[in-house]
Amino acid sequence: MTIRTVLCLTLMALLAAPVHAQDRAAETKAWQSLAATLQPGTFIEIRMRDGTHFKGTFVQRRGDGMVVKPRTRVAVPAREIAIADVESIAPARQGMSPAKKVLLGLGVGVGTMALIGALAVAYAY
Amino acid sequence: MAGITARRWLCRGLVTVGATLLATTASAQAGETVVRMPAWDASGNLAIHFFRASDLDGGDDHYYYDSEALAQPGAQVGRYVTSHLKVELGVRGPMQYTSYDTIHVPAPLPGGFAETWVDRRVRVVSFAPAITWQFFENTFMHPYVSAGVAVDLVDVHRFREAGTESYPLSRATVRYDVPGIDTRETVVKARPFFAVGSKSYFGNGRWFVRPEAEIGVVKSRIGTGSLRLGVGVDF
């Protein structure tokens, strides 16, 4: 790699960085606007810039952040999140509990097997 | 020999589980966290257990008639060492089935013996210490993998009423006496097992269902399998 190549790459990175920073600032502002429209009690899914995500209940907006109560099995304190750290906010819905899904799946499976068995017996005689 | 090995496995398993339980109780008291997660769970379950009778009770291998699939009730208690690692002790059974052994009795026949059968009424209770690793933290669904050693206490009742049997030959029918048999023995066997499943919670976050699939190793091959569904509670 020549010195010229290194210089070119460095220059490109330096030029691109402010553009990226401007994009991020605009996006943060957009998320702030969206957060301002959220009603307390809205169930949302939040993706953070560090890759983590969670679902929870929006409690209130606070300065450049917002307070969200995460939906966890054992209750945890509400989290204050800086909107600058947010990648995305989307409305979510609280679906059926995993246990009910398991039981429903099991019921459907057993029911299907019983139906197949009954049909097999019926056709055999 | 097999009995001694199995007892040794059971003792080691119980000592390991007991020591870990004591250690974790102390560490749980020392390390106070903001969110207090339940440290114990308990569940009852019902399984369909697939196995070969001859592997379990040491009876005759009847080839095509040897495979069994029986309902097996059970209960399990677990103690979290960390939010991911748990030690568990399961009790499974009783599970009962009937098999048979082929025996030879003296008879006035070519060879000097006749072949007949003895019923084997088998009752199995298993103790299964295990270590479980569960994925995710404080969610409503935790997949997990588990490994342990199941120690099977197999009560074998061999029974046959005394009587007379007959064997038709070309010229005449030969009759011979079959002695009564009524013996009991307890066979102890140990088998490592591996399981995968999930702890899936209801909306209250305490009660859960626990579907699980398990395989057991017998004689260096996969010798048993179980499909289990448990219902339990964290406390």
Instruction: Give pLDDT, residue A23.
Output: 78
Residue B224 pLDDT > 80: yes
Instruction: Give pLDDT, residue B81.
Output: 96
| Residues of chain A with C-beta less than 8 angstroms from the C-beta of B38 | 74
pTM of the model: 0.78
Residue B86 pLDDT > 60: yes
Q: How many CB atoms lie within 10 A of CB B13?
A: 22
Q: Which of A74, A98, A100 sits opposite B35 (nearest CB)?
A: A74
How much is the ipTM here? 0.73
CB contact under 8 A, B211 and A100: no
CB contact under 8 A, A103 and B36: no
Instruction: Give pLDDT, residue B110.
Output: 82
For B130-183, the pLDDT digits (tens) are: 999 999 999 999 999 999 999 999 999 999 999 998 888 888 888 999 999 999
CB contact under 8 A, A77 and B34: yes
Q: The tokens 């046959």 sit on which residue?
A: B160
For residue A25, give both structure tokens: 């600032």
Beta strand pairing call for B173-178 and B163-168: antiparallel
| Residues of chain A with C-beta less than 8 angstroms from the C-beta of B135 | none
Residue A14 pLDDT > 70: no
Q: How many CB atoms lie within 10 A of CB B165?
A: 14
Residue A32 φ then ψ, to 5°: -60, -40
Q: Looking at the 3D structure of chain B, how many domains does it have?
A: 1
Residue B141's alpha-carbon distances to A36, A111, A125, in angstroms, are 32, 24, 45
| Residues of chain B with C-beta less than 8 angstroms from the C-beta of A99 | 200-202, 207-209
Measured between CA atoms, the residue of chain B closest to residue A78 is B35
In chain A, which among 56-95 make CB contacts under 8 A with chain B?
72-77
**Domain for residue B138, yes or no?**
yes
Three-class DSSP category at B117: strand
For residue A18, give both structure tokens: 């402010």
**Helices then strands, each counted (H, E), chain B:** 2, 10
For A32-81, the pLDDT digits (tens) are: 888 888 999 999 999 999 999 999 999 999 888 999 999 999 999 999 99
Q: Give the Cα separation of B197 and B215 in Å (integer).
A: 12
Residue B33 pLDDT > 50: no
List the single range of A5-9, A16-20, B187-191 with lowest mean pLDDT: A16-20
Whether the CB-CB separation of A83 and A32 falls below 8 Å is answered with: yes
Q: Give the Cα separation of A53 and B144 in Å (integer).
A: 21
Q: How many CB atoms lie within 10 A of CB B69?
A: 12
Instruction: Give pLDDT, residue B201.
Output: 96
Three-class DSSP category at B30: helix
| Residues of chain A with C-beta less than 8 angstroms from the C-beta of B203 | 97
Radius of gyration in angstroms for the set of CA atoms belonging to chain A, rounded to a whole number: 25
Residue B70 pLDDT > 70: yes
**Domain carrying residue B138:** 2-29+39-234
Q: Give the Cα separation of A35 and A30 in Å (integer).
A: 9
Three-class DSSP category at B58: coil
The shortest C-alpha distance from B81 to chain A (Å) reads 17
Report the percentage of chain B scoring pLDDT > 70.
83
- The CATH number linked to B215 is 2.40.160.20
Q: Which of B37, B201, B229 sits opposite A98 (nearest CB)?
A: B201
Q: Give the Cα separation of B80 and B106 in Å (integer).
A: 60
Report chain B's mean pLDDT, rounded to a whole number.
86
Residue B14's alpha-carbon distances to B44, B87, B127, in angstroms, are 20, 11, 9
**Domain for residue B181, yes or no?**
yes
Q: How many beta-carbon pairs below 8 A join chains A and B? A: 44
Residue B32 pLDDT > 60: no
Whether the CB-CB separation of B131 and B146 falls below 8 Å is answered with: yes
The shortest C-alpha distance from A110 to chain B (Å) reads 13
- Substitution target from A97, A101, A113 for chain B, most B beta carbons within 10 A: A97
Residue B199 pLDDT > 80: yes
DSSP A23-90: HHHHHHHHHHHHHHHPPTT-EEEEEETTS-EEEEEEEEEETTEEEEEE--SS----EEEEGGGEEEEE
**Domain for residue B53, yes or no?**
yes
Give the CA dihedral B22, B23, B28, B29, nearest 10 degrees.
70
- Which bin fits B47, alpha (ψ -120 to 50), beta or left (φ > 0)? beta
**Confidence at B100, pLDDT banded by 50, 70, 90:** confident
CB contact under 8 A, A106 and B198: no
| Residues of chain A with C-beta less than 8 angstroms from the C-beta of B209 | 99, 102-103
Q: Which of A76, A98, A103 sits opposite B141 (nearest CB)?
A: A98
**Domain for residue B34, yes or no?**
no
Closest Cα to residue A34, out of A52, A61, A57, A53?
Answer: A61
Measured between CA atoms, the residue of chain A closest to residue B197 is A102
Contacting A with CB below 8 Å, chain B residues are: 34-38, 138-141, 198, 200-203, 205, 207-209, 211, 229
**Confidence at A94, pLDDT banded by 50, 70, 90:** confident
